[in-house]
Amino acid sequence: QEDLTMLGLLRLDMIGTVDVTPKGEPGLLSLAHLNPPSPQGPLYTLLKPTLVHQCPVSFETFIRELESDLQRRSGSQTMAQGQTAILVSASPKSKAEQEEHLTELAELASSADLTVIDRLFQRTERGHHRFQLGSGKLKDVLMQAMQKGVDLLIFDQDLAPAQLRAIEEVTDLTVIDRTQLILDIFAQRAHSREGKVQVELAQLRYLLPRLSGQGTSLSRLGGGIGSRGPGETKLETDRRRIRERIDHLEREIEGFARHQDQRRSRRVRQEFPVLSIVGYTNAGKSTLLNALTNSVVSTAPRVFETLDTTSRRLHLPHGHEAILTDTVGFIRDLPKDLLAAFRTTLDELHDADLFLHVVDAGAKDLDAHI
Q: Which of 26, 27, 42, 301 binds ligand GTP (CB under 6 A)?
A: 301
Interface with Mg ion: number of residues (CB under 5 A): 4
Binding of ligand GTP by 286 (CB under 6 A): yes
Contacted by 284, from Mg ion, ligand GTP, none: CB < 5 to 8 Å by type: ligand GTP
- Interface residue with ligand GTP among 153, 283, 323, 338 (CB under 6 A) is 283
Q: Is residue 229 exposed (0-12), middle (13-18) or buried (19+ Cβ within 10 Å)?
A: middle
**What does 195 bind: Mg ion, ligand GTP, none (CB cut-off 5 to 8 Å by kind)?**
none
Instruction: Report what 5 binds from ligand GTP, Mg ion, none; CB cut-off 5-8 Å by kind.
Output: none
Single out the residue of 149, 215, 329, 335 in contact with ligand GTP (rule: CB under 6 A): 329
Report CA torsion sign: 171, 9, 95, 124: negative
Instruction: Count how many Cα atoms sit within 13 Å of the Cα of residue 26 in the half-sphere of its side chain.
Output: 12
**Toward ligand GTP, which CB reaches closer, 164 or 328?**
328
Q: Does 282 bind ligand GTP (CB under 6 A)?
A: yes
Give the closest residue to 313 by CA, choosing from 261, 270, 349: 270
CB of 189 to ligand GTP, least distance (A): 9
Give the amino acid at 317: P
Phi then psi dihedrals of residue 118, to 5 deg: -160, 160
Decide if residue 309 touches Mg ion (CB under 5 A).
no
What is the closest distance, in whole angstroms, from the C-beta atom of residue 117 to ligand GTP in the complex?
24
Q: Decide: is 286 part of the binding site for Mg ion (CB under 5 A).
A: yes
Residue closer to Mg ion (CB basis): 178 or 285: 285
Determine the size of the site formed for ligand GTP (CB under 6 A): 15
Could you tell me which stretch among 134-142, 166-174, 221-229, 304-312 binds ligand GTP (CB under 6 A)? Answer: 304-312
Range in contact with ligand GTP (rule: CB under 6 A) among 81-89, 166-174, 190-198, 303-311:
303-311
Q: Are 4 and 16 in contact (CB under 8 A)?
A: no
Q: Which stretch binds ligand GTP (CB under 6 A): 77-85, 130-138, 221-229, 294-302?
A: 294-302
Find the shortest distance in angstroms from Cβ 306 to Mg ion. Answer: 3
**To the nearest whole angstrom, how small is the minimum distance from the Cβ of residue 295 to Mg ion?**
11
Binding piece for Mg ion, criterion CB under 5 A, among 63-71, 115-123, 226-234, 297-305 = 297-305
Q: Is 285 in the site for ligand GTP (CB under 6 A)?
A: yes
Which sign does the torsion angle of CA 97, 179, 208, 210 carry? positive
From the list 180, 304, 308, 309, which residue makes contact with ligand GTP (rule: CB under 6 A)? 304
* Shortest distance, position 274 Cβ to ligand GTP, whole Å: 18
Q: Does 310 bind Mg ion (CB under 5 A)?
A: no
User: What's the CA gap between 57 and 76, in Å, rounded?
Assistant: 27
Contact between 303 and ligand GTP per CB under 6 A: yes
Which residue type is seen at 122? Q
Closest CA to 93 of 80, 104, 84, 102: 102
Q: Rule CB under 6 A: choose which of 281, 293, 344, 345 binds ligand GTP.
A: 281
Q: Which stretch binds Mg ion (CB under 5 A): 35-43, 80-88, 112-120, 301-309?
A: 301-309
Rounded distance, CA 211 to CA 233, Å? 12
Residues that bind ligand GTP (CB under 6 A): 281-287, 299-301, 303-306, 329
Q: Which residues bind Mg ion (CB under 5 A)?
A: 285-286, 305-306
